[in-house]
């Protein structure tokens, strides 16, 4: 199908992490909320729109954000909680099309071309998505529509917050031309500076530039970049692939030098990834431990489970052995970051009547039920509690 006959939707949740915090804590509504690492090495994950007039932005060091917005509310991320909302959002996506390409927990492309005959116009489908997300989560999504990924994403970005906009193929160049060249997909800081040296500051100027002159500065990518500047983009929406791994990690504000505390963090990570695996109906065979020494020396250690599992006990037993072996091999062990991941997924087999596993699974099942009822993290193993004092 020609690219200009497709109907692509881009959905991006507005200030996702901060919005979830304001939803869970109504007293924070209307206040500048900044979510991210709170220590000296912390980075802003996202911030509410109330924080943005102060100059606070994602990926900014938290220390800089505090200088710009000293009266803001600073919170650690609660990834398990955000994942709960993400599941509800993506359920909405899959109700209108199987062609969903997730970019993150809160952002995705949808190809709804084949859904138009059943569900109506692209605007009707986009409005349905936006309304359903609001109804089921209480959160706000910005929705962009276009004949390709480039224009759909641009439409949502230009209409934020609470956006709803469509850019057609006919209006593409008119919409793109006055925008700064840095707004174009694939144009990073280095490319932007190279274009500025050529006197190119807008997307319209990029589209009109002599291709040979442009190639002298940008090489082979010049032609593709000019096509984007004209609003042309033939990339397809890539439907989600089967999950390859599930992981959790934490960067410490102060280098961790105590094995028992490292083991507590390891258990916390194992609880989290095992719960996510069970939620998705997955069981994995490969456990990988990620260990980063200061300043940035990263090691990985990997081992196989006897059989695929989503049990905290099974995963933690292997991960703990990997951690302890590494730790004892170091003269002065220090950790800046510790992570665990589970991979090598297999479909869960049906349990045998005489399989002893049900007894081993009981703590996980009880934990799942209580956390589902009262919120993620309501019930944790005692060994995890030390890590909560460091949050």
Rounded to a whole number, what is the largest CA-CA distance in the chain?
A: 75
d(CA 30, CA 49): 9
Q: How many Cβ atoms from other residues are within 10 Å of residue 201's Cβ?
A: 14
On the 0-12 / 13-18 / 19+ scale of CB atoms within 10 A, 295 is exposed
d(CA 244, CA 179): 38
Give residue-wise pLDDT tens across range 206-226: 999 988 888 887 888 888 889
Q: How confident is the model at residue 355 (pLDDT cuts 50, 70, 90)?
A: very low
Q: Which of 103-107, 198-202, 239-243, 321-325 has the lowest mean pLDDT?
A: 239-243
- Average pLDDT rounded to a whole number, residues 347-373: 54
d(CA 357, CA 161): 49
- Average pLDDT rounded to a whole number, residues 162-191: 91
On the 0-12 / 13-18 / 19+ scale of CB atoms within 10 A, 215 is middle
d(CA 93, CA 95): 5
Q: Catalytic residue at 271? A: no
- Residues 273 and 315: beta-carbon distance below 8 Å: yes
- Residues 129 and 92: beta-carbon distance below 8 Å: yes
| Residue-range domain boundaries for the chain | 10-144+152-163, 172-229, 245-388
- Average pLDDT rounded to a whole number, residues 176-188: 89
- Average pLDDT rounded to a whole number, residues 257-281: 91
The pLDDT value given to residue 322: 95
The pLDDT value given to residue 366: 61
pTM of the model: 0.71
The pLDDT value given to residue 42: 86
The pLDDT value given to residue 39: 82
Q: How confident is the model at residue 188 (pLDDT cuts 50, 70, 90)?
A: confident
Average pLDDT value for the chain? 87
Specify binding-site residues for Mg(2+).
12, 106
In this structure, which long-range contacts are made by residues 157-165, counting pairs with CB atoms below 8 Å and at least 24 apart in sequence?
A: 157/12, 157/183, 160/12, 160/14, 161/14, 161/15, 161/49, 162/14, 164/126, 164/127, 164/130
Domain 10-144+152-163: give its CATH architecture: 2-Layer Sandwich (3.30)
Q: Which candidate, 224, 171, 229, places its Cα nearest to that of 202?
A: 229
Is CATH 1.10.150.20 the right assignment for the domain spanning 172-229?
yes
Cis peptide before 295 (omega within 30 of 0): yes
Kind and range of the H or E element at 151? helix 149-159
Class of domain 245-388: alpha beta
| Catalytic pick among 21, 50, 101, 107 | 107
Specify binding-site residues.
12, 106
The pLDDT value given to residue 380: 58
Looking at the predicted structure, is the pLDDT value of residue 356 above 60? no
Give residue-wise pLDDT tens across range 125-152: 999 999 999 999 999 999 999 999 999 9
Looking at the predicted structure, is the pLDDT value of residue 351 above 50? no
DSSP 14: T
- Average pLDDT rounded to a whole number, residues 356-360: 49
């Amino acid at each position: 199908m020609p690219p200009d006959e497709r109907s692509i939707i881009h959905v991006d949740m507005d200030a996702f992490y901060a919005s979830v915090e304001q939803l869970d804590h109504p007293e924070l509504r209307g206040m500048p909320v900044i979510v991210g690492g709170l220590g000296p090495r912390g980075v802003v994950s996202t911030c509410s729109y109330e924080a943005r007039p102060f100059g606070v932005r994602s990926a900014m060091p938290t220390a800089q954000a505090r200088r710009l917005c000293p009266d803001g509310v600073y919170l650690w991320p609660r990834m398990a909680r955000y994942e709960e909302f993400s599941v509800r959002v993506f359920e909405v996506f899959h109700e209108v099309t199987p062609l969903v390409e997730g970019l993150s927990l809160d952002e995705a492309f949808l190809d709804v071309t084949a859904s138009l005959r059943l569900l109506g116009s692209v605007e009707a489908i986009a409005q349905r998505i936006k309304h359903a997300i609001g109804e089921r989560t209480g959160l706000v999504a910005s929705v962009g529509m276009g004949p390709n990924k480039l224009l759909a994403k641009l439409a949502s970005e230009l209409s934020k917050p609470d956006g709803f906009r469509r850019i057609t193929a006919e209006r593409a160049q008119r919409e793109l031309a006055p925008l700064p060249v840095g707004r174009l997909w694939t144009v990073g800081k280095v490319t932007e500076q190279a274009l500025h040296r050529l006197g190119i500051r807008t997307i319209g100027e990029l589209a009109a530039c002599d291709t040979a002159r442009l190639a002298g500065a940008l090489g082979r990518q010049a032609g593709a970049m000019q096509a984007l500047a004209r609003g042309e983009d033939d990339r397809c929406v890539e439907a989600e692939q089967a999950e390859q791994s599930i992981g959790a990690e934490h960067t410490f504000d102060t280098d961790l030098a105590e094995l028992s505390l490292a083991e507590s963090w390891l258990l916390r990570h194992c609880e989290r990834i095992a719960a996510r695996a069970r939620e998705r109906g997955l069981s994995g065979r490969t456990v990988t431990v990620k260990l980063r020494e200061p300043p940035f020396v990263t090691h990985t250690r990997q081992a196989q489970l006897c059989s695929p599992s989503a049990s905290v006990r099974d995963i933690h037993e292997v991960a703990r052995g990997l951690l302890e072996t590494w730790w004892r091999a170091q003269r002065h062990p220090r950790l800046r970051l510790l992570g665990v991941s589970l991979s090598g997924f297999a479909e869960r087999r049906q349990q045998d009547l005489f399989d002893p596993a049900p007894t081993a699974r009981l703590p996980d099942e009880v934990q799942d039920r209580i956390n589902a009822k009262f919120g993620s993290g309501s019930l944790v193993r005692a060994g995890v509690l030390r890590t909560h004092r460091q949050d």
